[in-house]
């Protein structure tokens, strides 16, 4: 398992947390997805044999949340 952290530009509401976490957890190979509202960070634990960091980043971007890194 690999853990990656993404820094988002901003989160405008607490309901964004559930939206992002749900979308990431639907990805094959994602074990855990945790969004920290106040710091706008996303921490994801995943199996790199089933999903890539790029795919996880694209999932977040498709939801409308710019990823800074």
Q: Note the pLDDT tens digit of each residue in 6-54.
A: 999 878 788 889 999 999 999 999 999 999 988 899 999 999 999 999 9
Q: What is the pTM of this model?
A: 0.89
Is 69 part of a structural domain of the chain? no
Is 68 part of a structural domain of the chain? no
Round to whole Å and give the CA distance between 28 and 13: 27
| CATH classification at residue 55 | 3.30.70.100
- Give the chain's domain count: 1
Tokens of 26: 């639907």
């Amino acid at each position: 398992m690999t853990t990656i952290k993404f820094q988002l530009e901003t989160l405008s509401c607490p309901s964004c947390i559930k939206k992002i976490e749900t979308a990431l957890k639907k990805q094959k190979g994602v074990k855990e997805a945790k969004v920290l509202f106040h710091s706008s960070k996303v921490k994801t634990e995943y199996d790199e044999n089933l999903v890539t960091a790029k795919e996880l980043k694209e999932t977040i971007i498709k939801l409308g949340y710019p990823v800074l890194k």
